[in-house]
Amino acid sequence: MQISIAGSTITFQRKQQRPVRLTSRCIDAVTFAVDWFPVNVRWGVGIFRRHEENRVIGLLENEKHFWRYENAVVPESDEQHEARRSRSPRSLVRVRSDHTDMPLLHARCGNIAKVMYINLARRTDRRVLILNELETLGIPWERIARIEAIDAEHEKESPLECCARSHIAALDQALSEDLEAVLILEDDFQLIHSERETRQRWWRFLDTVPHFEIVSWAHNCLHPWGNSGSGDVRVWYLQTTSAYVVRRSAMNRLRDIYLQALTERRPFDKVMTRIREDVQWYAMKPALSRQRQCFSDILGKRVDYGC
């Protein structure tokens, strides 16, 4: 779907269909309304405002649907925007339809192929809780893999080092199965938003940042890369590995930085973003998930990380 704007004239067109001229009215300097009746009576009136998302500029309709300007990745100034708008029509492409009924793991390039959760054999309580969360998201059982966490009670390494090796084991399995992308979770994973909002946020991210290589669903101490507005951001630094999606192109580099942290005997989640200049690392903002308040085997006490 595409709309073109030339002054007060707005035209809507689907592929291989005739264009439809729409009625619009100005609300204020940055907001206008469009009557969708000639296209679809159920769409009602759309309220549009200028919006930037993941360094892509466009229009946000009803605070829900994002339309991006064609070939406009670097944000324009307001003066440039007005000058360009007055000279010629601007084409916008709706990059996100209503994904309410689309499964989280729907087949498409770059999307999650499998969900892997890391779980100690003795923490059956956490296993039940995380499987309930994944069931809420509608993840098919055959697309879920449990990674046996390395237990510090039986090893000579610290709990944090064993955690790092467990994440390496998850990456090794993803590489051995040649998966395009995996969602790696620690077993205290807990959704922050509804199942519907989680899916919509994820699909909007895939639409606007199809080139991502790693994206953190949860984070602590987040520092974006450069100046950023609201919404999902490119990462300069963050902590926590409780929930993240990694694509095949970044798996080996992430595995290497985890191994390097073990060699340096440093917390792996505090050094992992060193690879930020080599991979396209993003963070969902606000976060999609948090760590559940529960007993931590790493700290040996009940904790609430708040993220």
Count how many residues are written for the chain: 307
pLDDT at position 297: 72
pLDDT at position 204: 85
pLDDT at position 225: 85
Q: Residue 136: pLDDT above 70?
A: yes
Best CA proximity match to 105, nearest among 141, 56, 155, 70:
141
Is the pTM of the predicted complex or chain greater than 0.85?
Answer: no
Q: Residue 75: pLDDT above 70?
A: no
Confidence of residue 1 (pLDDT cuts 50, 70, 90): confident
State how far the Cα of 196 lies from the Cα of 203, in Å rounded to an integer: 11
Q: What is the mean pLDDT of the chain?
A: 83
CA-to-CA separations, 116 to 139, 172, 199, in angstroms, rounded: 11, 12, 18
pLDDT at position 226: 75
- Residue 272 pairs in a beta bridge with none
Q: Residue 29: pLDDT above 70?
A: no
pLDDT at position 298: 65
pLDDT at position 227: 66
Query: What is the b/e burial string over 288-304, where b = at least 16 CB atoms within 10 angstroms of the residue's CB?
Result: bbbbbebeebeeeeeee
- Residue 68 pairs in a beta bridge with 58, 93
- Break the chain into its structural domains and give their ranges: 2-94, 114-303
Q: Where are the alpha helices (DSSP H) in the chain?
A: 78-87, 124-136, 159-176, 195-208, 248-264, 268-271
Q: Could you name the CATH architecture of 114-303?
A: Alpha-Beta Complex (3.90)
State how far the Cα of 49 lies from the Cα of 63, in Å rounded to an integer: 9
